[in-house]
Structure 1
Amino acid sequence: MSETSRPHEHTIDTGPDASAVEIAVVDAVDDALVAAFARLIPQLSSSSPAPDAAQLDDLVANDDTALFVARLDGVVVGTLTLAFYRIPTGVKSWIEDVVVHEDARGHGIGRMLNESALAEAQRRGAKDVSLTSRPSREDANRLYQRIGFQRRDTNVYRYTF
């Protein structure tokens, strides 16, 4: 398996030397991507295991999702999943599972992932993009508001099987 993707170049200043961050939609899965998810998912959720290669293959093959990765100096340091769904009132999209490695936070990578996802959602004709974020994720919540997400007056419910 080899990983191919559609890149979008961004540059961030990480100190004295500027490092290039590449944001890409993953088209195929390889061992390095599986290993990256094994590093990242525990930083997002203590109750969900990292996906294996077959699960990532299914996700990447699904036309209703776009799996974004952020690479810093060629290493995957962040990910975001953008899901699409059609309802009678139009195409909507949802951002899920956003995580930037703790060692790479604070350099704009989360913003780049989100802005790339918003551009893709608009390109695909989505009416809007929604997401949820735990109140304890204060930095993430500030980021979403700076990007332009508006807090909604709604209740979010979950039914767990």
Structure 2
Amino acid sequence: MQNIRVERLSSVTETLVSDLTNLLSELSETASDLEIHVLKGIINSEPVQIFVAYDDAIPAPAGMLTLVCVTLLSGKKCIIEDVIVGTRFRRRGIASELLHSAIVYSRTYGARYIDLTSRSERVAANELYKKTGFIKRQTNVYRRILLEKLDL
């Protein structure tokens, strides 16, 4: 097994922006290309943490996860978004390491819970979430489209 390390993003380069844009395109065909000033703004935003996983055999990011932590009237909570592992890196434990890092950070933050959503056709991802201790909730998720494609 390769050596996997997960880092919380604290700085940005043009190369990293390009690498993360490539990862995002594997998650969504409609994802806009990232721009360096936007990514810098995100990582300087207190509620948002981006975790990037690396397989030490290859310098490019193998996966990423976005964690949003907020304090609401009902208490502190975190939401996991944009969990992506590059196609060529799957089945190596990278997503598990990303989730573990997000869980540790969320506990440190003092969150009561972490939410995430996943499309039902992502069978392997859904199994991993259950195996990692996430419980499928019986709830309705609603979305209202405000823009067809968000240009960041």
TM over 0.5: yes
1:21: which partner in 2? 4
- SS of equivalent residue, structure 1 residue 160: coil
Q: CA deviation at 1:111?
A: 0.5
1:24-43 correspondence to structure 2 within 5 Å: 24-43=7-26
Structure 1, gaps ≥5 residues long: 1-12, 14-18
Q: Which runs of 5+ in 2 are unaligned?
A: 147-152
CA distance in 2, matches of 1:158, 1:150: 21
Q: Deviations over 1:3-61 (max 9, x none)?
A: xxxxxxxxxx1xxxxx2111010111112211211210110001111311111101100
Q: TM-score by structure 1 length?
A: 0.87
Contact 2:48 2:66 in 1 (8 A): yes
Moved over 6 A (4+): none
Instruction: Report the equivalent of 1:60.
Output: 43
RMSD: 0.9
One-letter amino acid of the structure 2 residue matched with residue 133 of structure 1: S
Partner of 1:141: 126
Given candidates 94, 112, 116, the residue that maps to 1:109 is 94
State the alpha-carbon separation in 1 of the partners of residues 67 and 125 from structure 2. Answer: 16
CA contact (8 A) 2:24 2:31 kept: yes
Amino acid of the residue matched to residue 106 of structure 1? R
CA offsets per residue over residues 50-86 of structure 1, 9 Å max, x none? 3111111011000101100001123211000000111
> Do 2:18 and 2:34's aligned partners in 1 also have CA atoms closer than 8 Å?
no
* Preserved CA contact (<8 Å) 1:36 1:77: no
Q: Does 1:119 align with 2:100?
A: no
Q: Quick check: 1:45 aligned with 2:25?
A: no
- Give the corresponding residue for 1:87: 72
Match of 2:60 in 1: 75
Letter in structure 1 aligned against 2:14: D
Higher RCO (CA-CA < 8 Å; seq separation 6+)? 2
* TM-score when normalising by structure 2: 0.92
Count of residue pairs brought into register by the alignment: 144
Secondary structure of 2:3's aligned partner: strand
Match of 1:116, SS state, is: helix
Residue 123 (structure 1) shift: 0.5
Answer whether contact 1:80 1:113 (CA < 8 A) is retained.
Answer: yes
